[in-house]
Amino acid sequence: MRILLDVDGILANCVESALSVLNRQTGRNHTSADISTFEFSCIASAAEETAMWAAFSETPGLVLGIPEYAWNVDAANKMRALGHQVCAVTTPRWDCPRWCYERAQWLRDRGFLHSEIVFTSDKSRIVGDVLVDDRFENVRDWQASHPYGRAVLCSQPWNRAHTWHDRITTLHELL
């Protein structure tokens, strides 16, 4: 099987890193439980969010330092050991010049080959047997484009308002 894994919210805990930057910039103390939508607009103004992403652009190593969800990285490696092709399908941040380079390095450090990393803003174009994502719209659109595939929504605080028939908490549930 070809298993497509989103990165942020599945393998990488980008929300915690982004919140750390945002909290430092604003003096607030938000946690991931405060994120009720996919975007940060639920807790930050547009200017604050722009400044937060600018910090990722201006600070070398910030993307490389995003913590992993170790249990999901472990599950991805187990999927490979079972003979599945595992690909990281991640959205580029063109407003952050270091993003793609550091994200690719972050993934290589966790066992992904260059050929297993796909940057795209439209995941529905990528062919696979399974897509695991934390963004409802990505799961919905991918399933519509790949009706014989399995689209899985990984539960996170920011997608709890959405109903989807196939939800998991960790990638180990796919094994």
For the stretch 80-119, pLDDT in tens is 999 999 999 999 987 778 899 999 999 999 999 999 999 9
Domains of the chain: 2-13+68-174 (3.40.50.1000), 14-58 (no CATH)
Helical segments of the chain, H only: 14-26, 46-58, 70-81, 99-108, 136-145
Q: What is the residue whose two structure tokens read 């490979």?
A: 80
Dist CA 96 CA 94 (whole Å): 5
* Contact (Cβ atoms closer than 8 angstroms) between residue 166 and residue 151: yes
| Contact between residue 17 and residue 145 where contact means Cβ atoms under 8 Å apart | no
Tell me the pLDDT tens digit for each residue of 26-75.
Answer: 999 999 999 999 889 999 999 999 999 888 888 999 999 999 999 999 99
Q: 101: which 2 tokens?
A: 């380079």
Question: What would the pLDDT profile of 9-26 be if each residue is shown by its tens digit?
Answer: 999 999 999 999 999 999
All residues at 6 or more sequence positions from 141 whose CB lies less than 8 Å from its CB, including other chains:
122, 123, 124
Entry pTM: 0.95
